[in-house]
Chains A and B, each alone.
Chain A
Amino acid sequence: MRKMALFLMSMVLLAMAAGVALAADYPSKNFECIAPAGPGGGWDTTMRMVAKVLTEKGLIKTAMPVVNKPGGGGGVALTYMQRKKGDPYSLIVYSPPLILINLTGQSKLGYKDVTPISMLINDFGAFAVPKNSPYNTIDELFDALKKDPKSVKIGGTSSMGSMDHVQFMVAAKAAGVSDLTALQYIAFQGGEGLASLMGAHIDVLSTGMAELVGPKESGDIKVLAVTAPKRIPTGPLSDVPTLKERGIDAEYVNWRGIFGAPGMPEAEKKFMADALKQMAETPEWKEICARNGWVEAYMTPDEFGAFLDKVNEDNKVVLEELGLLQ
């Protein structure tokens, strides 16, 4: 029995020693990089690119295999991260759904249950109408909605209470549409939303801007506005006004950033944030951003945390008005 206790004690000491060593030469073992969705989507691509550049540029010397944990709009991976409390070797990528799934009650966990490390990129939404639509500007569309909230059928490529829905409602609210719950939002999945817009089955589509570039160039649709704070500088969407330019004081950022497990130690968090900052400045990363149409937007852990707090409050207001807040 005594022997046993002695053995256990020495094991504990050993583990503590290992713990101290860990902080000094972090990272000393392989990471687990989690994409909270299946292969091929935005989260998956971002995580894989980050892992690739970090290891190829030697910013992280240990391996960074990417693991897919899809489900529940990111909620399944969020639950999984709770099992990794304090572990500095688990990284995950998230974007606005992290906040939305919590506010709408889809997940009990939220952005407070992971550790923000760095925001990396921004992407924006856009609103488009079919080519022979009577609406030529976003104001005309919102004027019609103000007169008769049921006159415009709004489509989006994600479910009620998710990004495409909320970004339209944020704009509608700022434009002065009074009863947001009277607006008719129709949820589609994947490419069906765009197909329905091109077939003029719906009047307007709210979605990510990248999806609209092709049909816009071919003249099948008109893009009325983007949700970016500033006009997109180059490319086919550079002639599309922002909401602000049209006098609607609203924006909606599809931010994407890297998070650690809840309770990630300060020293390791700082190390990771620095590594990501250096990565964000490499030409390789800049090229990846350019190719994907991502806007670079690095933020430190503190800035990122404050940003999330603000976004959370903003979304809360709109969801409350919609009656979707849980």
Chain B
Amino acid sequence: MRPNAWVGLVAIVFGVAYGIQAWGLPRARIGNPMAPVYFPLGLAVLMVLLGAIVFIIEARKGLNSDDKSKRPKFHFQSMKLILFVIVLCFLYTALFDRIGFVFSTILFLMAMLLGINGGRGKLVKNTVITLVFSFGMWYIFVNIFQISLPASPLGIF
């Protein structure tokens, strides 16, 4: 399918889903009960409309008549790496408050560096970068900027 047709399709689906949610929003308890709903509902309608226009324009050109070499490509190894980083981000979120900034960042950064650099990465270099960053940022934020970051249950850092 043409890439723009995909954009149109996603817009329609998202618009409909958002619109359903918008319709279910709590109504205002004073004044016009629909007041908090109009704007989101209007956005949903516009989104579906725009998506439909884009899709129809593309469909009239022929959904599959485009130059296939120009379509966006999602290579397996790229997506694997991106997915890997996304999973790390979620793990980081879960650990951040629990084991503190320094330790969660060491794990997060180390995993990212190793994952991205594959086998050929220099372990010593990556470790040094990770440790300098994690402790350095802790020092800068907590001691110089006086912005508190979550500490580990150990009591230090």
Contacts and interface: CB of A to CB of B under 8 A. Distances in A.
**CB atoms of A and B under 8 A apart anywhere in the complex?**
yes
Interface of A: 65-68, 160, 181, 184-185, 322-324
Contact of B148 (A67, A160, A184): A67
14 contacts: A65-B148, A66-B148, A67-B148, A68-B148, A160-B30, A181-B30, A184-B31, A185-B30, A322-B29, A322-B30, A323-B29, A323-B30, A324-B29, A324-B30
B145 to A, nearest CB: 11
Ranked 6 nearest A-B pairs via Cβ: A67-B148, A323-B29, A181-B30, A324-B29, A65-B148, A323-B30
A65 B29 CA distance: 41
A160 B29 CA distance: 10
A184 B148 CA distance: 42
Contacts of A185: 30
Nearest to A324: B29
A93 B31 CA distance: 34
Given A67-B148, A185-B30, A324-B30, 9 more contacts: A65-B148, A66-B148, A68-B148, A160-B30, A322-B29, A322-B30, A323-B29, A323-B30, A324-B29
Interface footprint category on B: under 10
Main secondary structure of the interface of A (DSSP, over half): mixed
A181 B33 CA distance: 12
Nearest to B31: A184
Nearest to A29: B155
Contacts of A323: 29-30
A133 B4 CA distance: 56
Nearest to B29: A323
A181 B30 CA distance: 6
Contacts of B148: 65-68
Nearest to A67: B148
Contacts of B29: 322-324
A149 to B, nearest CB: 12
Interface in B1-55: 29-31
Nearest to B30: A181
Interface string B139-151: 0000000001000
Nearest to A65: B148
A185 to B, nearest CB: 8
A181 B28 CA distance: 12
A323 B31 CA distance: 11
A56 to B, nearest CB: 16
A160 B30 CA distance: 9
B30 to A, nearest CB: 5
Contacts of B30: 160, 181, 185, 322-324
A68 B147 CA distance: 9
A155 to B, nearest CB: 15
A185 B29 CA distance: 13
B99 to A, nearest CB: 15
